[in-house]
Amino acid sequence: AGEAYEEGGGGMNVFSSSEKIWTTRAALPDEYAEFVCTYTQKENEKPVLHIAADSNFVVYLNGNVAGFGQYPGYPDYRVYSDVPLEGKSGENELRIVAWHYGADTQTHIKRDAYLVFEAVSEGKILVKSDENVLSRQYEEYENHRCKFLSVQLGFGYKYTGGKGGVWNKSVSLGKAGKFYPSQVKPLEEGARVPADVIKTRDGYLIDMREETTGFLDFDVVSDRDDTVTVAYGEYLLPDGNVNRTL
């Protein structure tokens, strides 16, 4: 923290003092990892987080979502994203969850797992990825499930709500190397959209009324462990359900 920062042409000097990190030296396919660190900012300061991961990430600042979504890039043209950090004066907690696919799909070429980042403000690095960042396997999703849906969609995922284990120092995977700024505007979480909830024979149909993209969240109350299966599609089967088999 507090190191001088130099913005290079095309962003190529970004991560010049950061290291690629993960929880282990050799990640397995379909693996989730969680990282946590803190940084201090002054009043009215507006830090920016440069971040990249294989294969995807979500950033939490003081418990709230601050940014998400890795641009795929190419093996010889790796891309980083900028996430504004609207923190508070004093100490702030930065938590990052990363998902490593570890498989070839239509939009992803198999590579080794890594996370690299640096929070920058007023020409100084406030915090960066290195072995001092604490990490652990992220247990809220099932790891190493490797349920391949299709070459377009890649792996599915299963949320279990499990609790994480002991925090340890991250494993350094070496210097980051060259990265380039994303030319695509990052995704933004907008307002909620209306939907119709219809009871069906096998569960509930949530009709969004039009084709859209976004995130689904809901609360489930149960007196025992159970499984909730969620499927989505653009047309209905004769029985009124979404086709969830390929």
Q: What is the 8-class DSSP label of residue 10?
A: G
Is residue 242 within 8 A of residue 233, CB to CB? The reply is: yes
Q: What is the pLDDT of residue 10?
A: 47
Q: What is the pLDDT of residue 3?
A: 62
Mean pLDDT of the chain: 90
Which single residue is written with the structure tokens 């294969």? 55
3-state secondary structure at position 125: strand
Rounded-to-integer distance, Cα 120 and Cα 85, Å: 10
pLDDT above 90 as % of the chain? 59
Residues contacting 215, CB < 8 A, separation 6+: 189
Is residue 167 within 8 A of residue 134, CB to CB? The reply is: yes
Q: Residue 136 corresponds to which tokens in the numbers above? A: 């652990």
3-state secondary structure at position 113: coil
Q: 227 pLDDT band (50/70/90 cuts)?
A: confident
- pLDDT at residue 9 tops 80: no
Cα torsion for 103, 105, 108, 110, to the nearest 10°?
30
User: Which helix (H) or strand (E) element contains residue 95?
Assistant: strand 90-100
Q: 11 pLDDT band (50/70/90 cuts)?
A: very low
**What are the backbone dihedrals phi and psi of residue 31, each rounded to the nearest 5 degrees, phi first?**
-125, 140
3-state secondary structure at position 114: strand
Residues contacting 60, CB < 8 A, separation 6+: 66, 93, 94, 95, 96, 97
Task: Pick the closest to residue 164 from 95, 64, 66 (CA basis).
Answer: 95
Which single residue is written with the structure tokens 């390929």? 246
Which single residue is written with the structure tokens 């995704």? 187
pLDDT digits (tens, 9 = 90+) for 88-136: 999 999 999 999 999 999 989 999 999 999 999 998 999 999 999 999 9
Strand partners, 127: 119
